[in-house]
Amino acid sequence: MILTSRNRDLLERDMNSQKNFLIEVLSKEEALQLFENILGDSTKTSTIQPIADEIVKRCGGLPVAVTTVANALKSKSLDIWKDALSQLRSSNPREIDGMDKNVYTSIELSYNLLASKEAKSLFRLCGLYNEGHAIQVASLLRYGMGWGLFKNVYTLEEARSRVHRLIDNLKSSCLLLDGDGKDEVKMHDVIHVVAVSIATEEQMFNIPNVADVEKKMEETKQKGPIAISLPHRDIQELPERLQCPNLELFLLFRKGYGSMQISDLFFEGTEEVKVLSLTGVRFSSLPSSLGRLFNLQTLCLGGCRLKDIAIVGQLKKLEILSFRDSYIEELPHEIGQLTRLVVIAPNLISKFSQLEELYMGDSFSQWDKVEGGSNASLAELKGLSKLTTLEIQVRDAQILPQDLVLVELQRYKICIGEAWRMWGVTSEISRLVRLHGLENVSTLLENYGMKMLLKEAEEIHLNELKGVQNAVHELDDGEGFPRLKHLRVESCSEILHIVGSVGRVRRKVFPLLESLSLKKASFVILHGQKPTAASKGPEREKPTTSLGFNEIIAADDPAPK
């Protein structure tokens, strides 16, 4: 096992490492070569070359510093190069254990060269996360929207586009990296250290995992913070009162899911808070002082167990409310963002005509068949004309309204049948339909809204279907699946073939299909006419018979011979 750290004492003292060796930084020549590889011939002019040489020297030979500065100076004028060198010469970097001052100054320069104030704000916001942890783009969207970071943005769709543009800017400057998932980003640990330091200068504090949290919180309060983050801390109890009159953002990402105490008085004296996120907390009821946060715009209670949440109804300025992955016994009339619910009052959803995103997957499935019943009905969704994102489970396909067409819908995960089960979903897809335990699925095509959802889907899961012999024939309206990239079929014992019967094989049933996953399957993929050689992999842009995928994943039972 190989461990790396900027702190040798940490390896020897805490990790009990047996053999330690230093990884040398780049030589002057190697660093300059890396710098020139990124910037090309622009560094070799008589005016730029001496400036480039000194800038590289001040990067301390650390690849992340050289790369970050080089990308920040791409396509910049001579005046900006001169100013960059001047900043490096005159900078008075903070003392950070284990980090060379020149490295800190180099990364700080890249931050200073960001043209957008919004990009700088987003960078500092990322510094409030824990080192090495994934940063959810959706969270940056919610926090940034509630905090007012994005100018001239009035809808979540506009904010989403802005966040992605800013993230691209930060990636271009090597201040952010791609995350493991499509909707995640991350920071290099050295960049993160600088981000935390820069955020601190702006009164934004990432409180480390110290033994005495209450003491550290008290020290932080004396500095007049506008943002406090406690990322992934194993905290049992917080101070009785937060009392930070300038505080605008408070984040608590709790490690583990045990109970913790938050005093009813905790939010007293923090009436300016605009963004509040509490993750992994068990509440019998929310602190009564939460109702005094009259300026709160974003409230995220993720992975929490909540009983009484009626107090949220007092937050009149609230625009973004998320209970994702939380368990809530009953949704009162006072609020409208919905997940992990047992009861939704009827005629409640339809009141939220401005709602753009609704996440109810794996939370609520007890839809009433008609309006006016004891629970919410799917017909209420028809009034959400601005809805762009929807995640729902519907147990009974018969209750789907015939005229449910959501014109603005761009992203959806919809499960029709017995179970949500969204593991194994391909991360980059944005439109998914899952059919589980249904009989006679061809009746779904009688519903125009459902037919359009199937036609536009990028991924379809078929699980334990009954009375289905030809999957495509019974789900296809004759136009094929023009956007489908991934098809998963599991435990469908009555299916005889996926595509075609004699006389029904058409061209381009799956023109974009990349993978077909078969589990507990015993059928043939194509019945009738066989696909031609031109129907595979990279050649799928050429005319195909009916299949054009790169990968077949089969498990359990073999197909019949």
Q: What one-character-per-residue DSSP string does 450-468 give?
A: HHHHHHH-SEEEEES-BS-
Q: What is the pLDDT of residue 451?
A: 86
The enclosing H or E element of 389 equals strand 389-394
pLDDT tens-place string over residues 460-472: 999 888 888 877 7
The tokens describing 72, both together, are 């920040």
Task: Give just the sign of the alpha carbon dihedral 40, 46, 51, 56.
Answer: positive
Looking at residues 534-554, what average pLDDT do you find?
43
Q: In the structure, what pLDDT confidence band is assigned to residue 279 with cuts at 50, 70 and 90?
A: confident
Question: What is the distance between the alpha carbons of residues 82 and 52, in angstroms, rounded to a whole number?
Answer: 10
Phi, psi of 210 (to 5 degrees): -100, 160
Task: Give just the sign of the alpha carbon dihedral 2, 7, 13, 19.
Answer: positive
| Cβ proximity of 208 and 233 under 8 Å | no
Cα 369–Cα 319–Cα 166 angle in degrees, nearest 5:
115
Adjacent-strand bridge partners of 136: 184
Q: What is the pLDDT of residue 399?
A: 85
With 70 as the cut, is the pLDDT of residue 333 above it? Answer: no
Q: What is the pLDDT of residue 196?
A: 92
Looking at residues 289-312, what average pLDDT do you find?
85
| Cβ proximity of 250 and 270 under 8 Å | yes
Q: What is the pLDDT of residue 442?
A: 77
| Cβ proximity of 224 and 203 under 8 Å | yes
pLDDT tens-place string over residues 345-395: 466 677 677 788 888 776 667 787 766 555 678 888 888 888 999 988 888
With 50 as the cut, is the pLDDT of residue 339 above it? Answer: no
With 60 as the cut, is the pLDDT of residue 489 above it? Answer: yes
With 70 as the cut, is the pLDDT of residue 91 above it? Answer: no
Q: What is the pLDDT of residue 296?
A: 92
- Its pTM stands at 0.67
Query: 502, exposed or middle or buried, with CB in 10 Å at 0-12, 13-18, 19+?
Result: exposed
The distance in angstroms from the start CA to the end CA of the chain is 47
State the pairing for strand pair 135-136/184-186. Answer: antiparallel
Highest mean pLDDT among 155-164, 301-310, 346-355, 500-509: 155-164
CA distances from 87 to 107, 200, 431 (A): 12, 20, 47
With 60 as the cut, is the pLDDT of residue 22 above it? Answer: yes
Looking at residues 175-185, what average pLDDT do you find?
89
| Cβ proximity of 462 and 435 under 8 Å | yes
Q: What is the pLDDT of residue 548?
A: 47
Q: What is the pLDDT of residue 236?
A: 72
The tokens describing 32, both together, are 């300059």
Beta-carbon contacts of residue 310 (< 8 Å; ≥ 6 apart)? 332, 334
In this predicted model, which residue has the larger pLDDT, 118 or 318?
118
Q: In the structure, what pLDDT confidence band is assigned to residue 259 with cuts at 50, 70 and 90?
A: low
The tokens describing 164, both together, are 């992605």
pLDDT tens-place string over residues 188-198: 888 898 999 99
Task: Please compute, for residue 191, the number of CA atoms within 13 A of its CA located in the half-sphere on the CB side.
Answer: 25
In this predicted model, which residue has the larger pLDDT, 314 or 277?
277
List the single range of 84-98, 201-215, 234-248 with lowest mean pLDDT: 84-98
With 70 as the cut, is the pLDDT of residue 544 above it? Answer: no
- Map residue 370 onto helix, strand or coil: coil
- Map residue 146 onto helix, strand or coil: helix
Query: 17, exposed or middle or buried, with CB in 10 Å at 0-12, 13-18, 19+?
Result: middle
Query: 491, exposed or middle or buried, with CB in 10 Å at 0-12, 13-18, 19+?
Result: middle
Query: 166, exposed or middle or buried, with CB in 10 Å at 0-12, 13-18, 19+?
Result: buried
Beta-carbon contacts of residue 166 (< 8 Å; ≥ 6 apart)? 116, 118, 119, 122
With 80 as the cut, is the pLDDT of residue 232 above it? Answer: no
The tokens describing 498, both together, are 């996926």
Q: What beta strand segments (E) does 331-388 contain?
A: 357-359
In this predicted model, which residue has the larger pLDDT, 14 or 296?
296
Chain centre to alpha carbon of residue 506: 38
DSSP string computed for 42-71 = GGGSTTTHHHHHHHHHTTTT-HHHHHHHHH
Q: In the structure, what pLDDT confidence band is assigned to residue 169 with cuts at 50, 70 and 90?
A: very high
Q: What is the pLDDT of residue 162?
A: 95
Q: What is the pLDDT of residue 99?
A: 66
Cα 360–Cα 406–Cα 480 angle in degrees, nearest 5:
100
CB-CB neighbours of 533 under 10 Å: 7
Question: What is the distance between the alpha carbons of residues 361 and 421, in angstroms, rounded to a whole number?
Answer: 9
Q: What is the pLDDT of residue 537?
A: 43
With CA atoms as reference, report the closest residue to 434 among 464, 404, 476, 466: 464
List the single range of 312-321, 399-408, 503-512 with lowest mean pLDDT: 503-512
Task: Give just the sign of the alpha carbon dihedral 93, 98, 100, 105.
Answer: negative
Question: What is the distance between the alpha carbons of residues 13 and 526, in angstroms, rounded to a whole number?
Answer: 62
Return the DSSP state at 310: G
The enclosing H or E element of 411 equals strand 411-417
Q: In the structure, what pLDDT confidence band is assigned to residue 422 with cuts at 50, 70 and 90?
A: low
| Cβ proximity of 508 and 487 under 8 Å | no
Q: What is the pLDDT of residue 471?
A: 75
Q: What is the pLDDT of residue 473?
A: 74
- Map residue 364 onto helix, strand or coil: coil
With 70 as the cut, is the pLDDT of residue 558 above it? Answer: no
Q: In the structure, what pLDDT confidence band is assigned to residue 539 with cuts at 50, 70 and 90?
A: very low
CB-CB neighbours of 98 under 10 Å: 12
Question: What is the distance between the alpha carbons of residues 225 and 221, in angstroms, rounded to a whole number?
Answer: 6
The enclosing H or E element of 72 equals helix 63-72
CB-CB neighbours of 175 under 10 Å: 27
Query: 320, exposed or middle or buried, with CB in 10 Å at 0-12, 13-18, 19+?
Result: buried
Q: What is the pLDDT of residue 492?
A: 86
